[in-house]
């Protein structure tokens, strides 16, 4: 469909250390659990309220997977640009179809930027000289999940 856009921009903190797995094709993939929060003051009670959303980030770019594995830990603040994707999988215990919505970091128009601290780094951005472009068709069947994470 011409004129459409699938782009997600998030700034948040990792809720766990990154998980690195091998796909069926032998390439590595990194999974991140990213928390974004908003806070406000309740008008009626004056009480401070907070809501946290959890996002699944999947990094397919091999160069970025290596950086994620080496530098990112639970609590790290990151900025991600990626593409929203929903995939279907079968729960082996119940036999029911389930769905996971994830932000994919792949190709040239995705990025992961580490924020805060002395390790400020921008890896895999659009203007990066290193080409992290993977094919658009990934074999995601190699991602054996225990969803929810």
Residue 134 to residue 49: CA distance in whole angstroms:
41
Ordered by start, the domain boundaries in the chain are 8-38+47-134
Contacts 24+ apart (CB under 8 A), 95-100: 98/147, 100/56, 100/145, 100/147
pLDDT at position 120 over 80? no
- Say what the alpha-carbon torsion angle 99, 100, 105, 106 is, to the nearest 10 degrees: -20
Residue whose structure tokens are 């074999």: 139
CATH number of 8-38+47-134: 2.40.50.140
Question: What average pLDDT does range 38-48 have in this prediction?
Answer: 93
Question: What is the per-residue pLDDT for 69?
Answer: 94
∠ CA 149-61-70, rounded to 5°: 70
pLDDT tens track for 3-41: 899 999 999 999 999 999 999 999 999 999 999 999 999
pLDDT at position 81 over 90? yes
Contact 109, 124 (CB under 8 A): no
pLDDT at position 140 over 60? no
Percent of the chain surpassing pLDDT 70: 77
Question: What average pLDDT does range 80-95 have in this prediction?
Answer: 93
Residue 13 to residue 89: CA distance in whole angstroms:
27
State if pTM tops 0.75.
no
Question: What is the per-residue pLDDT for 109?
Answer: 85
∠ CA 74-82-11, rounded to 5°: 45
Mean pLDDT of the chain: 81
Question: What is the per-residue pLDDT for 24?
Answer: 92
């Amino acid at each position: 469909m011409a004129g459409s856009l699938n782009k997600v921009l998030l700034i948040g903190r990792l809720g766990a250390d990154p998980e690195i797995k091998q796909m069926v094709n032998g390439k590595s993939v990194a999974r991140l659990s990213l928390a974004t929060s908003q806070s406000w003051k309740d008008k009626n009670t004056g009480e401070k309220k907070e809501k946290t959303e959890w996002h699944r980030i999947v990094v397919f770019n091999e160069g970025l997977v290596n950086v994620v594995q080496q530098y990112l830990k639970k609590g790290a603040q990151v900025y991600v640009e990626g593409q929203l994707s929903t995939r279907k999988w079968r729960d082996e215990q119940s036999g029911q179809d389930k769905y996971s919505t994830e932000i994919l970091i792949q190709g040239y128009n995705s990025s992961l930027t580490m924020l805060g601290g002395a390790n400020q780094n921008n890896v895999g951005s659009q203007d990066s000289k290193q080409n992290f472009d993977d094919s658009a068709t990934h074999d995601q069947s190699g991602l054996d999940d225990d969803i929810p994470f």
